[in-house]
Structure 1
Amino acid sequence: MNDVTIRHNPDRERFEVLVAGNVIGKAVYKDYDGGTSPQRIFYHTVINEEYGGQGLAGRLAAVALDETVDAGFRIVPVCPFIKKYITKNPDYAGDTAPIAPAHLEFLNDALAPRARA
């Protein structure tokens, strides 16, 4: 698949996979001030079903995690896919922060207004 683009869309707090200019997948995050270092909490990753099985989620995760580390953030893998990806790619382990109750509370508070809308 040659027309695949992966980009960071900071205004929407996500990394996106585009095919022919259409968003077909995303890795969504919230930035968190962890005190000692900035952290990026990844909480949801999805690829449209018709594009499954093509390795796009892995490509998306690699770009998202590389850009996150390059920007000076520690990775907080709340999303099961991102967590599994890090397990299979241990080079990211040193850039990962353990999930803490404060992360989950922050996410809950940050996402609650969207859930009510």
Structure 2
Amino acid sequence: MEPKSTPTVEHAAAKHCYEILDDGTAIGRTEYVPADGGEEKDRIFYHTEVDDAYAGQGLASILVRQALDDTIAAGLTIVPVCPYIKTWLKNHEEYQQHASPVRREHLQAVRQLAGS
């Protein structure tokens, strides 16, 4: 399905995600565990998806680029637990300096969030 309008990306901070919208309707999202506000400056991205009806149009890349740009602008480090973001970073070398390797505590944070 072709988008009705030019898709836009919005940060839904209360839901800990970025959403890509078509004419105001969310058609995809990338979810993260927020930085804890202390010394930890990691934003752990763990899931990205775009509605199947919009697949194959590069919308996930648009979504992820905006989410990562915002993360970098906020002074946070990208932690790519999400397979899509991990692959995206490999293809966009200019973002790799802002990424941190996935550590055990990152995976634990994702598991805790899923359990809540």
Report deviation, 1:110.
Answer: 1.9
Could you tell me which of 78, 91, 94 is aligned with 1:91?
A: 94
**TM-score, length basis structure 2:** 0.91
Could you tell me which of 6, 22, 27 is aligned with 1:24?
A: 27
Structure that is richer in strand per residue: 1
Could you tell me which of 73, 76, 96 is aligned with 1:73?
A: 76
Partners of 1:34 and 1:11 in 2: CA distance: 15
CA RMSD of aligned residues (A): 1.5
Report deviation, 1:32.
Answer: 3.2
Q: Is the 8 A contact 1:43 1:78 kept in 2?
A: yes
Structure that is richer in helix per residue: 1
1:50 matches 2:42: no
The aligned residue for residue 13 of structure 1 is 16
The aligned residue for residue 38 of structure 1 is 41
Amino acid of the structure 1 residue aligned with 2:81: V
Structure 1 stretches lacking a partner, 5+ long: none
Partners of 1:76 and 1:34 in 2: CA distance: 16
Q: Is the 8 A contact 1:37 1:74 kept in 2?
A: no
**TM-score, length basis structure 1:** 0.90
| Aligned partner of residue 17 in structure 1, secondary structure | strand
Kindly, what percent of the aligned residue pairs are identical? 37
Report deviation, 1:37.
Answer: 4.7
| Aligned partner of residue 105 in structure 2, secondary structure | helix
The aligned residue for residue 3 of structure 1 is 6
**Number of matched pairs:** 113
Per-residue CA distance 1:54-87 (angstroms, 9 max, x = gap): 1100000100000000001000000000000000
Partners of 1:36 and 1:12 in 2: CA distance: 22
